[in-house]
Amino acid sequence: MEDPRPELKADTDEHRDEPDFDSLVAPEDLVSEDRTRDNFFDTVLGLSSPATAREVADRAEHGVDAAREYLEWFDRIGIVTQVTDSPATYERNQEYLQWRRVQQLRNRYEDDELLRFLEDEVERDDSFAEKFDTESPEAVAIAAHATDTDRSVEAVWEDVSAWKTTRRRISLHERALRTSPRNSDP
């Protein structure tokens, strides 16, 4: 093995002094929240409307050039979709998020568990349909229903939101069961 270059070696004065470990940056400070890709990934997942590279860079607290590179890469792999060209704006790809959630469900649960979850959500959906006397949460006139049932608008809105969440869960569980490798024919 070769000796290090002279400028990399400690001189005799440096050998006498103990290192000042208190002046060093703590390892957790070096690695936490400093991963550029993860910062951009978290930022684009939080987008609620199309954003430019400058806006994404500002939110991620990194440079615009890095934002452009990551946005182009995220666009190629489907995490975001480019909406406009000049200036280029990007939005998160909701289909990617759904696909990712389905993958997580498939990896975490067995088919019988997914089926049980689906059955529970279908029962909850039926309960909401009966409660609101309609087949869809979109058909509920929140203010009118609140007045008719002597409930607060907020309480009705929370129930309608929970019903919409139930519908999304049904869709995700069905997709997870449909795409399960355990369900494929040999």
> Does any domain span residue 76?
yes
Share of the chain above pLDDT 90, in %: 69
> Given this model, what pLDDT does residue 33 score?
46
Can you tell me the mean pLDDT for 135-150? 96
Position 125 pLDDT exceeds 90? yes
Taking all residues of the chain, what is their mean pLDDT, rounded to a whole number? 86
| Mean pLDDT in residue range 148-175 | 96
Note the pLDDT of residue 174. Answer: 96
Residues 74 and 141 in one domain: no
Residue 86 placed within a domain: yes
Q: Do 35 and 83 share a structural domain?
A: yes
Check residue 75 and give its pLDDT.
Answer: 92
Residue at 131 is within a domain: yes
In terms of average pLDDT, the best of 15-19, 93-97, 163-167 is: 163-167
Phi and psi (nearest 5°) for 90? Answer: -130, 150
pLDDT at site 179? 86
Q: Establish if 9 belongs to a structural domain.
A: no
Q: In this structure, are 73 and 132 located in the same domain?
A: no
| Per-residue model confidence as pLDDT tens digits over 157-168 | 999 999 999 999
Is the same domain home to 110 and 51?
no
Domain residue limits at 49: 21-92
Mean pLDDT of 144-154: 96
pLDDT at 183: 54
Burial of 2 from C-beta contacts in 10 A (0-12 / 13-18 / 19+):
exposed
36 with 87, same domain: the answer is yes
Structure tokens at 43: 């930022």
Asked if residues 154 and 185 have their Cβ atoms less than 8 Å apart, the reply is no
Given a cut of 90, whether residue 5 has pLDDT beyond it is no
pLDDT at position 186: 43
Same domain (yes/no): 84, 138:
no
For the chain, how many structural domains are there in total? Answer: 2
Q: Which CATH number does the domain housing residue 33 bear?
A: 1.10.10.10
pLDDT band at 26 (very low <50, low <70, confident <90, very high): low
Name the helix (H) or strand (E) containing 137. none
Q: Could you give the CA distance from residue 157 to residue 123 in angstroms, rounded to a whole number?
A: 20
Residues 103 and 169 reside in one and the same domain = yes
**Domain stops at, among 43, 75, 92:** 92
66 and 100, same domain (yes or no): no
Region 63-89 average pLDDT: 93
Q: Which of 6-10, 25-29, 85-89 has the highest mean pLDDT?
A: 85-89
Residues 117 and 162 in one domain: yes
Residues 85 and 149 in one domain: no
Last residue of a domain, one of 67, 92, 117: 92
Q: Answer whether residue 59 is part of any domain.
A: yes
Taking residues 45-69, report their average pLDDT.
Answer: 94
Percent with pLDDT over 70 in the chain: 80
| 36 and 64 inside one domain | yes
**Three-state secondary structure call for residue 181:** helix
Domain boundary residue among 92, 112, 129? 92
Q: What is the dihedral of CA 62, 63, 64, 68, to 10 degrees?
A: -70
Say if residue 46's pLDDT is above 60. yes
Task: Please check whether residues 74 and 100 belong to one and the same domain.
Answer: no
